[in-house]
Structure formats: C-alpha cells, structure tokens
Amino acid sequence: MMLENRKALVTGASRGIGKAVADLFLAHGAEVWGLDVREPEDLAERVEKAGGRLRWIAADLGDLAGVDAVVKAAAGEAGGFDVLVNNAGITRDGLSFRMSLADWQKVLDVNLSAAFFISRTVGWDMISRKRGGSIINMASVVGVHGNGGQANYSASKAGLIGVTKSLAHEVAGRGVRVNALAPGFIESDMTAALPQEVKDNMMGRIPFGRFGRPEDVANAALFLASDLSSYVTGQVLPVDGGMFT
C-alpha cells in the first residue's frame, strides 16, 4: 500500500490514463477525488468497488475561475490533498495556418491554464498545511518534440513542462515535489480514432513494438506520487516505449 491514508486529486479521471491512475491509486490505499467535465456512467459501481474512497467533482476545466473555486472547496472538504495529478486534456488538431483562434485558445485553457491554476491552488494548500505533497503534470512527448497538426496541443504540453520546472523551484523548500510525465502513443479512445496508416507509422517508431497502455503511465504516476520518488522534483519522465530514444 504505497499511498495508504493519502488523498489524491486526479483530473480527467473518467477514462483512459486518468481512470487508470485513479484505479491504481485506490488499489494502493489512497482516497481519490476524480474531477472531470461529467460523471462517468459507471461511477456508482466504481465508488462501491473503492469502498467509498472515490469521490467525484463534475467541473469544466475550460471555466478557469469556476474550476479554481471548485478545487478550493474540495481541498477544504478533503482536509487537503497529498497528491495532485493534472491529467485532463483535449485536442483540437489542425494545420497551423488553418487553426482558428477558438481551437488554439480552448486547448491552451484546458491543458495548460487550468493545470496551472489547480497546481497553484493545491500547492499553496499543501504548503499551508505543512505536510508536503506531490504534483504530477501530464505532459506529452509532443511537448518536447512537436508534431505536425498539433501546434496548440504541443504548445500546451511544452508550457506545462515549463510550469512544472518553475513551480518545482518555488515549492521544493516547502516539501512539495513537482514532476511531469511525457506519454508517447498510448492506447485510448482518442488514438483509436486515428487512421490505420498513422498507427502503422507510429508503431514503426517504437522500439518496444507495441503501443503504451494507460496502466503504463499510471505505474509511473504511482512512482512519482509515492515516497519512492521523495528526492525527485522538476523532472520530465518519458513513458514512450523508447519512441524518442
């Protein structure tokens, strides 16, 4: 039980990587607060399976002022969070010269600005309660290497890496660690919709010869959330099967 008696806030927890992270944290004894734009259809089943240790917050991360207030209220009700995983993210792909301002701004708001404000709110609460904590930001390999047709998404993830490193400097002296994960091609509803030609091209670039699973990322998040990484901060850990080795 690597997270026994700890409380974690996981955004984008209804499916994919976020769900895998929430489930793994629960399996290791944490109380998990999931935050997403809507409740998952199987929420009651998941709460029952978790023995009541799963709580839920329905909030739109695009509403920056609203979500900040919701997170403050949740932190107060929970008695503070020990772990924060900023996992929620969206895409609005398109070539740069055709990308609308709305598609650019929406991705930046949800993927970067919301994660910054939530990190600031939860991080300050961690400091105020003098018990430290771990903040984990879900970046991406495209935030490091870029990707055609994803200028907005790549910018949001590159920005998240910058926030991670800057915030790590600011809060390390107060016992709060801030790190990022950079997943590669992970099996999800989002990647399932890609053309087979794109999938085949991606597979050819992965030395492991398989796409990642949400559980692969969740395992890395567990490491960063637990005491096993107690001397690790300001780092970006790729989870990409060697795609960019």
Report, as residue numbers or ranges, the catalytic residues.
Answer: 153
Please report, as a single letter, which amino acid is at residue 161: I
Rg (CA), the chain: 17
Compute the C-alpha angle 119/124/125, nearest 5°. Answer: 100
Q: Report the distance separating Cα 242 and Cα 118, nearest Å.
A: 31
Q: How far apart are the first and last CA of the chain?
A: 32
Residues comprising the chain, all counted: 245
Going by C-alpha positions, the residue among 167, 166, 168, 146 that lies closest to residue 157 is 146
Going by C-alpha positions, the residue among 78, 37, 84 that lies closest to residue 57 is 37
Q: 180: which strand partners? A: 137, 236
